[in-house]
Structure 1
Amino acid sequence: MRRWTPGRGEIEPRAKLIAVQAVEKLLSRPNTVVEVIDAQYGGLLAQTASVLVPCRQHTVANGKLITGGTTVDVRLSRSGSSWRVTSMHPAKPGPAATRLSAAARQVLASDRIILPPASAADIRSGTIEDAVLTAMLTLSETYRLGISVIRSGHPLNVFGTNRPSDHPRGRAFDTWQINGRAVVDPSTPRTLITNYMRATAATGSHNVGGPYQLPGTTYFSDQTHHDHIHAGYRP
């Protein structure tokens, strides 16, 4: 299993690498392999950062392979050119709901929507708005989605502000990979990313963030969103 390393196109790759190493150490257990799916920013400012690390844990117990996992929000601070971890916050998706909407069941069953463990647990908990779920289903008709975070494991507020984020309220999702191509990778065609951003807005998202600034008030771009596409929905 290949270990995660920062690729081309990363901003502050050292911060991500330190965050990933901290998560691997936190989650390591006997007979357990930690598979980091991605490392994306939950926030990136001049002196502080949030790195979200969705991962799977593969454990051999009694001769059986058990796969689980979580997403960890790793907070870091900068001193000069160095970064250090200040805290880590594993996802808390909550218990599974007894009944799920049709959209939730369809997303969980889809082979075109690749969910990390914490995001799948978010959906099973019944806390994700149907607008988010139907948007993912609509997008999956054209694209294969690599989801990084939906609700749990994301900062409660928009990083560096007092404004509540749409993620913890079940009204947003982030995409780190489109058709198997990482958003952060410079070799990923710009048109693939911008077309996906426009398609996301067409599903009803009022707040689409990504690495490129598109015309219109629906779209935004900043350093935090150079490595993923954010889609937020109104209640």
Structure 2
Amino acid sequence: MTAPPPAPSSGPSTPRRRGRPPRAGRTAADVPAARDRILDAARETFAAHGYDKASVRAIARRAEVDPALVHHYFGTKEQVFEAAVAKAAAPVLAGPSVLAEGDPREIGERMTRLFFSVWENPASREPLLAIIRSVVTHQTAARIFRQFITKNLVSRVAQRLPAPDIETRIELAVAQLVGVAMLRYVLRAEPLASAEAEDLIRRLSPVVQFHLAGGPPPLPPEH
């Protein structure tokens, strides 16, 4: 009696990658999007629970990935938060190039318009609001945010505006704009919350110009 023929081969076996496999239902095509899913999940988790109560495991659960993948892409919770800040603040980082272009006497208006263009757009405002909620409630989150802004905005702008005490000037300008953003978009304080953006730009631009370039701020033109 002859032995049955061997089962057909399914082809050469694919070597397994190190690390934990993706969760069931995820395919290799999902892998490139995993990083973005993690960042979106991180922003949502930090907004919902605050920096202190958010965890890598909770972020992974919301992103539907293994916690090991979060560590693989970002490392610690601090590094995840920093990456989430970078993604949320990406539109603001156009500041240095915007300030370098055009008439130096209009730097204040260009910076103010850039700032409002980011905050007035829901697509860029919501990620920033989620980050700000953690920043105002936790010292570590505030430190990470402050270091990121100093490194990626203040220092880069300072290189393009060589003037005495320029870093202090830039921080004063940023503080002016961030203060308005907190009242208008976070606290929803009236009348700032309902004011026309163009009116606020008209009022704030001379003050920002004063901080950046010095000299007495000109009065905004009357309507």
Q: Same fold (TM over 0.5)?
A: no
- Which has the larger share of strand? 1
TM-score, structure 2 normalization: 0.26
Larger Rg: 2
- Which has the larger share of helix? 2
TM-score, structure 1 normalization: 0.25
Q: Which has the higher contact order (CA 8 A, sep 6+)?
A: 2
